[in-house]
Amino acid sequence: MMEPRNVRPRFVFVLLVIAAVNLSPAQSGAPGSAFTIARLKYNGGGDWYNDPNEEVNLLTFVREGTNVDVNPRYEPVDISSDNLFSYPFLFMTGHGNVSFSDAEVRRLRTYLENGGFLYADDDYGMDKAFRREIKKVFPDKELIELPFSYGLYHSVYDFPNGVPKIHKHDGKAPQGFGMFIGDRLAVYYTYESNPSDGWNDPEVHGDTPQRHLEALQFGTNLVVWALTH
């Protein structure tokens, strides 16, 4: 399938409308441009579909804490679908293997080069596969660990130590990695942290109220950063 033409104007419209005002808690908005996170479907056997309440809960929190106009729903999207280019924010997660075909690699590269943003969260066991597959998308780029001073960590809520540690996993320090196109963060990847599981209903993973709140606040930073940069 051929990549749709004129991809950039679609993203620019969404981004300019939302970025027209300063996004901070209970400030600014994007009337008439309801924002939805798209859950990226992928092949390889990993459970890309797990915990569908995550995006719904996060977007509900974003709506309550900012004036960003959101549509809180679970919205899966296939890389091969033309609808891919309608979403400025893609989210992928899972516990296992990821596999992009050559055609999917080309389409995902086109999406990211034309203003799209991908957030990937290792739900435990996705690390090796994700690093391998994103390297196919951008062979000339590296995932680099972002410093704690990076603006994403301070865009709405302050995270002076970077990505918060939401789930134990192997007990290692949480890390946030970025891949840039020019100066723009196009891919953001969290490891040993798992904020997205923290977006779920707290009883699902036994999260404390504090952990649940931290995860939602961090997700808000992600949304705001992606839409304004």
Residue extents of the structural domains in the chain: 7-228
What pLDDT, in 10s, does the model give residues 76-98? 999 999 899 999 999 999 989 99
Kindly state the average pLDDT of the residues 18-33: 38
Would you put residue 89 in left (φ > 0), alpha (ψ -120 to 50) or beta? beta
pLDDT for residue 33: 62
pLDDT reading at 26 higher than 80: no
What pLDDT, in 10s, does the model give residues 206-218? 889 999 999 999 9
Radius of gyration of the chain (CA): 16
pTM of the model: 0.86
**Ranges assigned E (strand) in the chain:** 38-41, 75-78, 89-94, 117-122, 144-145, 175-181, 184-191
Domain 7-228 grouped into CATH 3.40.640.10: no
What pLDDT, in 10s, does the model give residues 138-173? 999 999 999 999 999 999 999 999 999 998 878 899
Q: What is the dihedral of CA 183, 189, 190, 194, to 10 degrees?
A: 130
- Token couple for 132: 């391998």
